Chains A and B, each alone.
Chain A
Amino acid sequence: MTQPAPSAQHQGPGKGHPSAPAAPPSKQGSGSRALGLRVDVRNLSLLGVLAVLVAVGGITEPDAFLDTGNLQLILTQASVIGVVTVGVTFVIISGGIDLSVGAMVALASVWATTLATQEYGFAGILFTAVVVGLAAGLVNGLLIAYGGMVPFIATLAMLASARGLALQITDGKTQIVTVRSVLDLGLPDSYVLGIPPLVLVFAAVTVAGWLILNRTTFGRRTVAVGGNAEAARLAGIDVRRQRLYLYLLSGLCCGIAAFMLIILSGSGQNTNGNLYELDAIAAAIIGGTLLSGGRGTIIGSVLGVLVFTTITNIFALNNLQSDVQQIAKGAIIVAAVLVQRRTLRGGET
């Protein structure tokens, strides 16, 4: 233990016994349950936050908040940033960071909506968005994994240059999409059983992310690299290649998100994806992903995104202005993390 243990850790299986003693990590074999419980508790506390928000929304705006239209709206608005957050969660679990996601979304969305690209129709737009995202992710990955650059700096550089390139391509203009098949995907006629296609993509990416993290060697290696990169290397894992793949994955998610944003907004603009990096990182963190790596869940991140989107929704429905929204958003981040820490102490050590 590098510092004195916090002396006010109340905990213990018997909740409601505040006299239970302070505790360092237990040496007993109850690790398995603590480990399983921790994940649950983490997500449970966020579900609790979400439930409180739903109650607040339902009470303050019963008509506007509690209908299918609003559920569709919240999920749709969560889907673009949600896909980005899934990618970012992988990167953070591996001990890295990706500050360039917003800029990659912007670059991919404008590259995919130039007049020249639009001539190739649906496939051209989708292909371009995905490949531009992958290419930017590849550059990030090469710089970090093989160029030895610190992720913070490499992706900061990518943030600057991708935004610059996006501005150069658009010349500051808004690129309106005229490809009907793309536009139609954002309209109610395309909803499948009442579910917007964007939400379906979000759900698919979430499920894929969960499966990859929890059921594949890739996910296992990601956690290993983030938990202890040196141990992973000495266990024979190709840490550098794994890092490269992770930034590629983040770029891929940004490319998909860019395509979704094109569908949603019907346009490409160099200002797209503004501050996505902060929103995605914040969502992952309140979702329980350790900023230092080695631990995190996809479910937690997705819940984090939903919490943010629901907050925004409730505020807008109540006609609260941006100043109040910003203050409350900051307060809720703090509150969510505090609640989580407290519940964690109850569940873990």
Chain B
Amino acid sequence: MPETSRRGLLFGTAAVSAGAFLTACTSNEPKEKTPAQDNRPAADDTAGKPVTIGFAGPQADHGWLNAINVQAKSRAEKYSEVTLETTEGSNDTAAQIGQVKTLINKKVDVLVVLPADGKALTQVGLEAMRAGIPVVNLDRVFASPQAYRCWVGGDNYGMGLNAGHYIGEQLKDKANAKVVELAGIDNLELTKQRSQGFADALKNYSNVKLVARQAADFTVESGQAKMAQLLQAQKQFDALWNHDDDQGVGALRAIEQAGRDEFIMVGGAGAKSAMDAIKAGNTVLKATVLYPPTMAASAIDLARALGQSKGVAGLAEMEIPTSVTLYSAVVSKDNIDQYLPTGFS
């Protein structure tokens, strides 16, 4: 049937051009290069004996996790004597156990592990330690201290605490101040810790009250949806703490859509988009509390020191500490320039 074939031809041509257009559109290369992270020298940056570091992290399906991988890789590249063996990121516990075992079999000098699930990977951490490979446990902690030589990670409770103190200070002259909390995924331990820290900090300010809390799930879409509901429920409030800058993109969108600006907003984690907004100062977002992905770079530093049997410069200790808890700094317009390079997208 000629009509059909002509239609088919037209459709085919359209499909091919659409395909070509779409293929060109998968690119996400930015016009200018993202600024690299800080180049301050490490405490001990003269080249030592060669060290092979095995690195196993989860799948980078979230901006922060992606930043972790980037930080670890670029830090390792800075040291000429460090070889980094990375594995394919995986959220599957069994797969990650297999990957760590492979690294043990390759006899790497030091392991850096950010487990998909801390409890589930404890056994393989123990295995590495018994094989004489020191393990640097990143962020999500193993169930047993015997499974790692050194733990380095963020402070979720401290994050909430610092956010609460910052907001408390900003509102201290305001009578009957109302605060709203947009939490992260509610069935995660870290969300509970952040909320607890936040609540504990607010107890120091008798004029400030937490009037509403909703949990989103770290996605832009959920941030927009939950924030829109919060704004509808609370016709007026003074401050908002949002646990996560990714969902904050959606929250800011909801705020823009509702045309509200009577409150200040504090974010969490330290995404580049949030930091840009803080620097620009044209939104309600005035500060963000860090959960720094630079911890991965620090983990590489510590792993290197372990591999070379060195201590940390500036401390009297002969050995690397067993635990390093990072401080969740509040980044506001005052100190934004200092932290901007660590922002992740």
Contacts and interface: CB of A to CB of B under 8 A. Distances in A.
Interface of A: 61, 63-64, 69-70, 73, 76-77, 111-112, 114-117, 120, 124, 127-128, 131-132, 135, 167, 169-176, 186-188, 261, 264-267, 269-274, 312-313, 316-319, 321-323
B26 interface: yes
A135 B11 CA distance: 13
A116 B258 CA distance: 30
A207 B249 CA distance: 32
B22 A131 contact: yes
Contacts of B253: 186, 264-267
12 contacts: A64-B235, A77-B229, A115-B29, A115-B31, A116-B27, A127-B18, A171-B28, A171-B60, A171-B66, A176-B249, A187-B259, A274-B222
B221 A269 contact: yes
Given A272-B220, A316-B233, A319-B233, A124 B25 contact: yes
A73 B228 contact: yes
B219 A269 contact: yes
B219 A274 contact: yes
Interface of B: 18-19, 21-22, 24-31, 59-63, 65-66, 186-187, 211-215, 217-226, 228-230, 232-233, 235, 246, 249-250, 252-253, 256-259, 271, 273, 345
Contacts of B219: 269, 271-272, 274
B63 A173 contact: yes
B25 A172 contact: no
Contacts of A323: 186
B61 A270 contact: yes
A169 B214 contact: no
B26 to A, nearest CB: 5
A323 B213 CA distance: 13
A114 B29 CA distance: 9
B214 A319 contact: yes
Nearest to A119: B25
Contacts of A120: 25
A132 B221 contact: no
A26 B252 CA distance: 58
Contacts of A76: 228
A169 B219 CA distance: 17
Nearest to A264: B224
B4 to A, nearest CB: 12
A216 B213 CA distance: 48
A116 B214 contact: no
B189 to A, nearest CB: 15
B215 A114 contact: no
Nearest to A176: B273
Contacts of B30: 115
A111 B26 contact: yes
A321 B220 contact: no
A188 B259 contact: yes
Contacts of A128: 21-22, 25
B27 A115 contact: yes
Contact of B257 (A167, A176, A188): A188
A185 B249 CA distance: 17
B257 A186 contact: yes
B94 to A, nearest CB: 17
A70 B61 contact: no
Contacts of B59: 167, 172
Nearest to B256: A187
Nearest to B245: A174
A174 B212 CA distance: 27
A63 B187 CA distance: 31
Q: In this complex, which of A169, A171, A173 has the most chain B Cβ atoms within 10 angstroms of its Cβ?
A: A173
A171 B89 CA distance: 12
Nearest to A196: B257
Given A267-B253, A272-B220, A316 B214 contact: yes
A26 B256 CA distance: 58
A218 B211 CA distance: 52
Contact of B25 (A73, A117, A322): A117
B41 to A, nearest CB: 29
B249 A174 contact: yes
Given A174-B63, A264-B221, 7 more contacts: A111-B26, A115-B28, A116-B28, A132-B22, A187-B259, A271-B62, A272-B220
Nearest to B27: A116
Contacts of B26: 111, 114, 116, 169
A120 B345 CA distance: 22
B343 to A, nearest CB: 12
Contacts of B257: 186-188
Contact of A265 (B27, B212, B224): B224
B28 A114 contact: yes
A319 B180 CA distance: 10
